[in-house]
Structure 1
Amino acid sequence: MFLAHRAAAAIVSAVLALGGATSPVLAESKPDGKPAVIVMDDERIKLAEIELRDAGPAPIGRRLMVPGTIVPDAGRIAHVSVKLSGTVAELRKNIGDDVVKDELLAVLESREVADAKSEYLAARLSNELQQDLAARDKSLSEGRAVPEQQYVKSRNAAAQSQMRLGIARQKLMALGVTEAEITSLPEAAAGTLRSQNIRAPISGRIAERKVEQGTAVGRDNLETELFVIVDLSQVWVELAVASTDLPLVREGQPVDVTVRGVPETGAGRIVFVSPLLDKETRAARVVASLPNPDGRWRPGSFVTAGITIERRDVAVTVPFAAIQTIEGGKVVFVRIKEGFEKRNVAVGRRDGTVVEIVSGLSAGETVAASNTFSLKAELSKPGDED
């Protein structure tokens, strides 16, 4: 960081040198109390890469800082298990692959599913015949060509066949066969009756694959779980809040999440505050939900969470990088016609990268918001033109 400050100061010094010896660069404070001014025009400010920001109102929050850990959202984890006995015939996806909901993951071969499909097809054919007979007998009964008793008998048989078809359908669905696959069974090839497709229940990424091709799966102490899919587009932040701080924490509060060495901050919200305390640590489990569309928040990462427990609007704020300390006092560099004017200020509460200015600066004034260390360094140099 020190080397970066020295490099920034060197850039500004080089830019200021472009003004030539006849143009004063630094006007030190005079006995009449006029503040020091660093002379810079717009072009030199741009070359020095000094960012300008307007001081103005902003909300300032008071935060409770708590260490935490990124974990997967428990509602976005899917364990893909089999509901029948069989053998893994095909594996379409591997660990690390991205999948979408209902995408094919694997194909099993199972006598159990073959029997269930055959039972369904037989029940479907029987139901079609019984429905046709019931319709025919109804027509004949209305024309008094057959006794009404015969129609009642065929109608009961049709109802029973309809019930058996429904039971056969429910059995297939219980084994994991989808509605679309059941509908296409009458046109399916005979060799596919023993095949059972395993599809992704959610979109996400395959975190675990627990079987190989040819593995026997199902009941009788065999492996039943094939894959674990995790959707990391939304993650949780697990926090442990001390019992003394719990009265300040409630569900719905905003949370800012940071990790050491990473400049970006994540914005989440508390979704759960446990009513129970840990017996050993006397802390409560608090969970915050954090959007993660780009996947930069990895489960297992240690983070720091700032829980906003109070927020108020203040009239004047500046970026934290705009503040420098000179001779024990806080100063900012205000943009004026000639360049930058050193201005003593009193600072209040800080909220992340924003600092409240209590006095010394008015809303609407423009300040240097970056490379301010280099401007401070220029003020520390001896006056060459004195």
Structure 2
Amino acid sequence: MKRLIRYSIFILLTAALAYVGYRMLPATSKTTPTEKSEKKEHSDAIALSDAKILAAGIELAKASAGVLRDSLLLNGIVQPNQEALVQVTPRFPGIVREVRKRIGDRVQKGDILAIIESNQSLTTYELKASLGGTIIDRQTSLGEFVSEQKSAFIIADLSTVWVDFSVYRRDLRRVSVGDQVLIDPADGGKPIEAKISYLSPVGSSDTQSALARALVSNSDQRLRPGLFITGKLTLSAKNVNIAVKSSALQTLENRNVVFVRSGEKFEARDVEIGDRDQEFVEITFGVVEGEMYAAQNSFIVKAEMAKGTAEHEH
């Protein structure tokens, strides 16, 4: 009986000591819900000033409705519109006594291009522009003999140009007259919208490709004949409510996030994504229309956020 009582007392003392030891554990070994929330808030947001954003080259854009396009990338070259081009040829053979226009000059119909002395009558006559446009070639100079066998000037109306694309054989069935193409002039401006107006019925044996041509408005002279160009042929298009640039999408702790700008802070916003194309991605949840986000160089925001988290933990 005494042994049983001593054993019971031992059990009680052991339990009491274990409880006291638990109560005396350091407070830092526990993490309260508030502390967890503060840590998450710290790791998912970072303050960056406008000056720092500019210096880092972070581009800000506004989330908005957009169009996702399944497209075909084509290479091409800008050509003068041959239907708005004229070769000015002397009426009679003779000697060029005066040259009034040069390559690059813009002329109106009827402007005098050169004065020629006829070999037959030894009198001079005026060589005039038969079309308004830009002189893109000149095949004569002062004192030179000219004749009706060779053009002296070539004038092109460059308010419209041809953009000739090469379409490889494997893609020919995907291209049709009337298809929309977005042309990149590589001048930093917005792409130019045009449509395929001609598809060659024959191909090139050298390149195993066929020509697809777009007639493009060029009133602002963004396209220059002779320069190579790229275009995106739209195969299909889908309107979406919210689209952001693909470069805005980052992965943070296995979550898809977009860095949304609010005041001077970027917040890592969890997002759900839908369809995408080469440039944009559809956001079905997480970002609303009108919110500013890091569109380019968003990885810098991610790096700054990771650096801030590391400093906080130390």
TM over 0.5: yes
Shift of 1:30: 4.2
Structure-to-structure mapping, 1:307-318, within 5 angstroms: 307-318=233-244
1:48 aligns with 2:48: no
Closer, same or farther: CA 302–329 of 1 in aligned 2, 3 Å: farther
Aligned-pair identity (%): 33
Structure-to-structure mapping, 1:145-184, within 5 angstroms: none
1:214 aligns with 2:143: yes
Q: Residue 60 of structure 1 aligns to which amino acid in structure 2?
A: L
Larger helix proportion of the pair: 1
Closer, same or farther: CA 354–46 of 1 in aligned 2, 3 Å: farther
TM-score calculated relative to the size of structure 1: 0.60
Larger strand proportion of the pair: 2
Q: Residue 45 of structure 2 aligns to which amino acid in structure 1?
A: I
What residue in structure 2 maps to residue 231 of structure 1? 157
Closer, same or farther: CA 299–372 of 1 in aligned 2, 3 Å: same
Q: Residue 138 of structure 2 aligns to which amino acid in structure 1?
A: R
**Corresponding pairs, count:** 275
What residue in structure 2 maps to residue 200 of structure 1? 129
Q: Deviations over 1:207-232 (max 9, x none)?
A: 3222233333335xxx4311112333
Q: Deviations over 1:49-72 (max 9, x none)?
A: 466544232122111112212222
SS at match of 1:225: coil
What residue in structure 2 maps to residue 9 of structure 1? none
Closer, same or farther: CA 378–218 of 1 in aligned 2, 3 Å: closer
Shift of 1:278: 3.2
8 Å contact kept, 1:110–1:194: yes
Q: Deviations over 1:329-367 (max 9, x none)?
A: 532112347833212334444456433224433444442
Shift of 1:313: 0.5
1:375 aligns with 2:301: yes
Closer, same or farther: CA 358–243 of 1 in aligned 2, 3 Å: farther
Which structure 2 segments of 5+ residues have no match? Answer: 1-33
Q: Residue 194 of structure 2 aligns to which amino acid in structure 1?
A: G
Give 2:179's match in structure 1, choosing from 246, 253, 262: 253
Shift of 1:104: 0.9
8 Å contact kept, 2:60–2:294: yes
What residue in structure 2 maps to residue 61 of structure 1? 69
SS at match of 1:300: coil
SS at match of 2:170: coil
TM-score calculated relative to the size of structure 2: 0.72
Closer, same or farther: CA 288–197 of 1 in aligned 2, 3 Å: same
1:384 aligns with 2:311: yes
8 Å contact kept, 1:28–1:37: no
Distance in 2 (alpha carbons) for counterparts of 1:45 and 1:217 = 65
1:38 aligns with 2:15: no
